[in-house]
Amino acid sequence: MDEFERHGIAVVSGRDACARALRSAGLTSDPGGGSPSVLLRDGDDHTRVRAVLREIIAGLEPFPAALQAAIEATVAGLGMSFDLVRDFARPVAGAVTSAVLGVPLDDVFLDHLEATTANLDVFGGADRAGQASAFRLAVQLSRTPAGPGGLTALRKAHAAGRLDEDELVINAVVLAHAVYENSLNFLACAGLELATSGPRTVRELVAAVCPARYVLRFGPDGPVAISLADGLPFGLGRHACPGSGVALAEAEIALTALAKHLGGGCEVRDVRWKTHAVFHGLDSAQVVVSGKAG
Ligand code: HEM
């Protein structure tokens, strides 16, 4: 029995059943309570907020050359011994998140962003530290001067009457979290696969890793957890990931650079996993590169 079933939440698995559930008109993403988050609503309000976010994400399509160069430089500078999460996945995911929002993000911001994962606690959201982190980020972003990019675009959408005040404040954090958390977990897990099992395509890796393991929906009989592990890593239907193109481009660049860096082979030690029920990722993994002069 998995964690969902222990909490009385029905689980849908198997690709066809999951695809049907994700497209079902009888299941909603809205748990009630009127959240302004794009993830937790359906209908016209969802379509309206999602359209604004989609326009922002399109700003990174095609993937900007300067961002590609920054990622490649980060990976090239990894050295002979490094942590896959702290030194590889985190700076890459942080740079992409910063580029999406159009604001610089420091380590304190990224720490709080990682802490908000707990705030997405699907079993009741009692994690006060996670909620405090999300709140802090919302306040911080609302006060941050922004250049061209997502935060400015959100503010313009608000000024134009396309988003209300709550939608502006919350979806800045939701967007940052969507970019960062899934990229972080995917890059670290894919990096581990690369280091231990050899080359695979990014599409194969994202299906194998499946960094967001479940999505929650609500039906007449209560909540349902739909598994994405059977070949649906970006979901499907109304809420399907609008950033999948950016995620794949980012991973292609970072993992190609990592494969080059690991060229002569490597050893991986001290692999530690996160334990979140939805977000599948590494806590840390130490890589020691062999076959290069020290
Ligand atoms: C490997 C990396 C990623 C994975 C596995 C992933 C996965 C997902 C999944 C499964 C959903 C659907 C949630 C649901 O149905 O309730 C989603 C939603 C979303 N993702 Fe991604 N994502 C990734 C990266 C990104 C990136 C890089 C961006 C932005 C550039 C992004 C932006 C979003 C947004 C805004 C949503 C909300 C869409 C909505 O509710 O309509 N994601 N993502």
DSSP-derived secondary structure letter, 138: H
Q: Which two tokens stand for residue 33?
A: 């309570």
Residues lining ligand 1, Cβ inside 6 A: 29, 38-39, 50, 53, 57, 100, 175, 178-179, 182-183, 186, 206, 211-212, 215, 228, 233-235, 239, 241-243, 246-247
Cα of 139 to ligand 1 centre, how many Å? 23
The neighbour count for residue 140, using CB atoms within 10 Å, is 16
Ligand 1 centre distance from Cα of residue 233 (Å): 9
- Rounded Cα gap, residues 196 and 258, in angstroms: 13
Please state which CATH class domain 3-289 belongs to: mainly alpha
Q: Report residue 142 as tokens.
A: 């609302």
Conformational region of residue 19, where left means phi above 0, alpha means psi within -120 to 50, and beta covers everything else = alpha
At residue 8, the pLDDT reads 87
Pocket test for ligand 1, best of 50, 182, 224, 227 (most atoms within 8 A of CB): 182
**Mean per-residue pLDDT for 31-49?**
94
Ligand 1 centre distance from Cα of residue 243 (Å): 6
- The set of long-range contacts for 113-118, using a CB threshold of 8 Å and a minimum separation of 24, is 113/137, 113/176, 113/177, 113/180, 113/181, 114/180, 114/181, 114/184, 116/173, 116/177, 117/177, 117/181, 117/276, 117/279, 118/276
At residue 118, does pLDDT exceed 70? Answer: no
Q: Bigger pLDDT: 3 or 178?
A: 178
Q: Which atom of ligand 1 is nearest to the CA of 239?
A: 41
Residue nearest to atom 19 of ligand 1 (CA): 241
Q: pLDDT band at residue 7, thresholds of 50, 70 and 90?
A: confident
Please choose, from the candidates 135, 130, 98, 101, the residue with its C-alpha nearest in 3D space to the C-alpha of residue 117. Answer: 130
Query: What residue's CA is closest to ligand 1, atom 16?
Result: 215
> How confident is the prediction for the chain on average, in pLDDT?
93
CB 44 within 8 A of CB 50: no
pLDDT at position 178 over 90: yes
- Where are the domains positioned within the chain? 3-289
pLDDT band at 294 (very low <50, low <70, confident <90, very high): very low
Percent of the chain surpassing pLDDT 70: 95
Average pLDDT over residues 77-94: 98
Residue 86 has pLDDT above 60, yes or no: yes
Considering only 6-20, 125-139, 225-239, 261-275, which range has the smallest mean pLDDT?
125-139
Kindly give the distance from the C-alpha atom of residue 216 to the centroid of ligand 1, in angstroms, as a whole number.
Answer: 13
CB atoms within 10 A of CB 44: 8
pLDDT over 90 (residue 124): no
pLDDT of residue 123: 58
In this predicted structure, the answer to whether residue 280 has a pLDDT above a threshold of 60 is yes
Residue 131: band (very low, low, confident or very high) from pLDDT cuts 50, 70, 90: confident
With cut-offs at 50, 70 and 90, classify the pLDDT of residue 198: confident
Q: What is the mean pLDDT of residues 156-181?
A: 96
**So what's the pLDDT on residue 122?**
56
Determine the pLDDT at residue 293: 46
- 1 pLDDT band, cuts 50/70/90, is low
Tell me, letter by letter, the H, E, C secondary structure of 242-292. Answer: CCHHHHHHHHHHHHHHHHHHCCCCEEEEEEEECCCCCECCEEEEEEEECCC
